[in-house]
């Protein structure tokens, strides 16, 4: 065995954020930077000897180089097998699927999700545990603690593995198995959805759809599933070739960044259904003909219609949403007589609830929806879920959403992001709001009266672990909310997120333009937090 032990010194900035460690590519290219973090992961695991690991990424720049390093380090650390995606590619949901299906110890996912890629873009790495989900906070904290004291890492001197060829090779005693990136995931989708019915919809001649993979990881998955298996035909997937720099784009499926798709779906010959996914395939945006479905509504609608889908025909055990996500899902849960959980932002908090069968569906306002079929959010799964509902209800997306509002009421919802704010100024803003909180209760802003305000903290109902400081909520007596939070995924400065939500049960008031409907709340947020002054920006950089 050619195990080499390399001396290293710790980096002080390897604290995982909302979803793993994300930094610029150049940061990861610093000597020993990636290696230190990977060894910190391995050191935090109880035992890697004799275990199997999954490795794959979203195909961004540095994915291949990082994969080769990780394979050699896995061999040196005692793993006996690594299942690695063909060409180093596995979408985040596919990685979760493979970890679960083959009961591996865990997996390493190389992704910075929707952050831009390329030599001047971002890179990221995260560890998922044996249930297929992101490592919970106690694990990420252990990794971080280790990274601060690490003094050496282990790696094998060996040739690079050919990631372009499927099948098994070896690095010393460890088997490297290059697996088809799509097959296991596609099989799982077939077990959940009525593929025959969706195929009839797509081939019946009346229904047109367009999937935008944004030159990111879902290209091969979407082509395999929608174009080939379901008969959508060549061309129903656009931007379907994964590129190391995502074609220079920002693979974030929202109305701002998925402009190619938005142009088509709001154009003259708009198809009936459109969807986009992000860099690593875990996010989704759903559009109808000239119609946008908010992610929070999407979660609620999937929940309300779940019985139409074979994999969920037996009903849901519960629903979970992240705190800033709108309360539309809570209304569905109430009607179904099931529990609805409110968790901090980030998918890692859903894992325990799903493992304990307390929830079946989960979602976030940030274009993330998923279920207990894996332990990550899942973009193409959401697309299939919608198609299954459309195929069985034979109505348009807009009709389904509007009917939903009639029954449950409408939760107007929007998120305003202020990106690349000076970190100190962002902290000052949050501290100011925090300081103002004791005087807010009962305070009136026009017709809105503050009912409560707090800094959200969460006690996991399964293991009792507590996560504090998860964002400031200001709730009003009519159920409206304003939430302030700082992003945990950015790589430059701070990003302030302002989340706005109001509710109307009155059908006559359900067709107001979203920003207009939320205008009062935007003004109240400005009054409470002095966003303009504190950020130095007179408007948000992105509105979703």
Distance of CA 418 to the CA centre of its chain: 20
Q: Which helix (H) or strand (E) holds 517?
A: helix 514-517
Short-list 310, 345, 339, CA closest to 197: 310
Burial (CB count within 10 angstroms: exposed 0-12, middle 13-18, buried 19+), residue 67: buried
Q: How far is the CB of 366 from ligand VG1 (least distance, A)?
A: 4
304 SS3 class: helix
For residues 43 and 297, which CB has a smaller minimum distance to ligand VG1 in the complex? 297
Q: Which is nearer to ligand VG1, 39 or 343 (CB)?
A: 343
Instruction: At 533, list the tokens.
Output: 């002054």
Provide the minimum distance between the beta carbon of 113 and ligand VG1 in the complex, in angstroms, as a whole number: 3
Least Cβ distance, residue 278 to ligand VG1 (angstroms) = 5
Near Co ion by CB under 5 A: residue from 43, 252, 272, 280: 280
In the set 40, 96, 111, 113, the catalytic residue is 113
Rule CB under 5 A: choose which of 35, 212, 227, 278 binds Co ion.
278
- 460 lies in the site for Co ion, by CB under 5 A: no
Is 122 a binding residue for Co ion by CB under 5 A? The answer is no
Using CB under 6 A as the criterion, which residues of the chain lie in contact with ligand VG1 when the complex forms? 18-19, 113-114, 278, 282-283, 322, 345-347, 364, 366, 368, 487-489, 497
Q: Is 408 helix (H, G, I), strand (E, B) or coil?
A: helix
Cβ-based neighbours of 54, under 8 Å, separated by 6 or more: 82, 83, 84, 90, 95, 98, 99, 102, 104, 106, 107, 108, 128
Cα 406 to Cα 180, 184, 400, 411, 470, distances in angstroms: 45, 39, 10, 11, 33
Tell me the helix, strand and coil percentages in the chain, rounded to 5.
35, 25, 40
Give catalytic status of residue 113 as yes or no: yes
Which of 252, 282, 417, 501 binds Co ion (CB under 5 A)? It is: 282
Which option in Co ion, ligand VG1, none does residue 366 bind, with CB closer than 5 to 8 A by kind? ligand VG1
Nearest residue to ligand VG1, scored by beta-carbon proximity: 113
Is the CB of 282 or the CB of 501 nearer to Co ion? 282
Among 113, 147, 186, 284, binds Co ion (CB under 5 A): 113
Select 36 or 325, whichever has its Cβ closest to ligand VG1. 325
The distance in angstroms from the start CA to the end CA of the chain is 53
The least CB distance from residue 303 to ligand VG1, in Å, is 18
Picked from Co ion, ligand VG1, none, the partner binding residue 489 (CB below 5 to 8 A depending on kind) is ligand VG1
Of residues 19 and 104, the one with the C-beta less far from ligand VG1: 19
Q: What are the two backbone dihedrals, phi and then psi, of residue 244, each rounded to the nearest 5 degrees?
A: -65, -25
Contact, 311 vs 290, CB < 8 A? no
Least distance CB 14 / ligand VG1 (angstroms) = 17
Residues identified as active-site: 113
Q: List interacting residues with Co ion (CB under 5 A).
A: 113, 278, 280, 282-283
């Amino acid at each position: 065995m050619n195990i080499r032990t390399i001396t290293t010194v710790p980096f002080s900035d390897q604290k995982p954020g909302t979803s793993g460690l994300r930094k610029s590519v150049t940061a990861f290219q610093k000597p020993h930077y990636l290696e230190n973090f990977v060894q910190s992961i391995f050191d935090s695991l109880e035992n890697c000897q004799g275990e199997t690991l999954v490795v794959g990424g979203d195909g961004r720049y540095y994915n291949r180089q990082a994969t080769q390093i990780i394979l050699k380090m896995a061999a040196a650390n005692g793993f006996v097998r690594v299942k690695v995606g063909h060409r180093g590619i596995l979408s985040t949901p596919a990685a979760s699927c493979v970890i679960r299906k083959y009961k591996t110890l865990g997996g390493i996912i190389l992704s910075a999700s929707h952050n831009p890629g390329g030599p001047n873009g971002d890179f990221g790495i995260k560890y998922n545990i044996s249930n297929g989900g992101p490592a919970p906070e106690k694990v990420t904290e252990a990794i971080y603690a280790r990274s601060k004291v690490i003094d050496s890492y282990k790696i094998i001197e060996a040739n690079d593995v050919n990631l372009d060829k499927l099948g098994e090779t070896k690095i010393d005693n460890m088997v490297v198995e290059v697996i088809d990136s799509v097959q296991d995931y596609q099989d799982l989708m077939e077990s959940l959805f009525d593929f025959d019915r969706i195929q009839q919809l797509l081939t019946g001649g009346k229904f047109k759809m367009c999937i935008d993979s944004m030159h990111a990881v879902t290209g091969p998955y979407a082509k395999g599933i929608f174009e080939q298996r379901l008969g959508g035909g060549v061309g129903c997937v656009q931007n379907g070739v994964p590129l190391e720099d995502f074609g220079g784009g920002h693979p974030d499926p929202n109305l701002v960044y998925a402009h190619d798709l938005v142009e088509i779906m709001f154009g003259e010959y708009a198809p009936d259904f459109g969807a986009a996914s992000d860099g690593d395939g875990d996010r989704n945006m759903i559009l109808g003909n000239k119609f946008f479905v908010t992610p929070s509504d999407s979660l609620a609608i999937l929940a309300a219609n779940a019985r139409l889908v074979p994999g969920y025909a037996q009903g849901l055990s519960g629903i979970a949403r992240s705190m800033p996500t709108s309360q539309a899902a809570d209304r569905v849960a109430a009607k179904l007589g099931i529990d609805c959980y409110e968790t901090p932002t980030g998918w890692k908090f859903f894992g325990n609830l799903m493992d304990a069968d307390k929830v079946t569906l989960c979602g976030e306002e940030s274009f993330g929806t998923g279920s207990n079929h894996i332990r990550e959010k899942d973009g193409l799964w959401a697309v299939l879920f919608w198609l299954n509902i459309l195929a069985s209800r034979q109505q348009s997306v807009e009709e389904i959403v509007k009917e939903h509002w009639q029954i449950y009421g409408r939760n107007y919802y929007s998120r305003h992001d202020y990106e690349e704010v000076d970190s100190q100024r962002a902290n000052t803003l949050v501290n100011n709001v925090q300081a103002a909180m004791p005087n807010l209760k009962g305070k009136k802003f026009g017709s809105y009266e503050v009912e409560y305000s707090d800094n959200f903290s969460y006690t996991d109902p399964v293991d009792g672990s507590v996560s504090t400081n998860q964002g400031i909520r200001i709730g009003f007596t009519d159920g409206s909310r304003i939430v302030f939070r700082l992003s945990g995924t950015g790589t430059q400065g701070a990003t302030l997120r302002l989340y706005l939500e109001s509710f109307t049960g009155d059908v006559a008031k359900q067709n107001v333009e979203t920003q207009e409907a939320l205008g009062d709340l935007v003004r109240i947020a400005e009054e409470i937090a002095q966003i303009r002054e504190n950020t130095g920006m007179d408007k948000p950089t992105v509105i979703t």
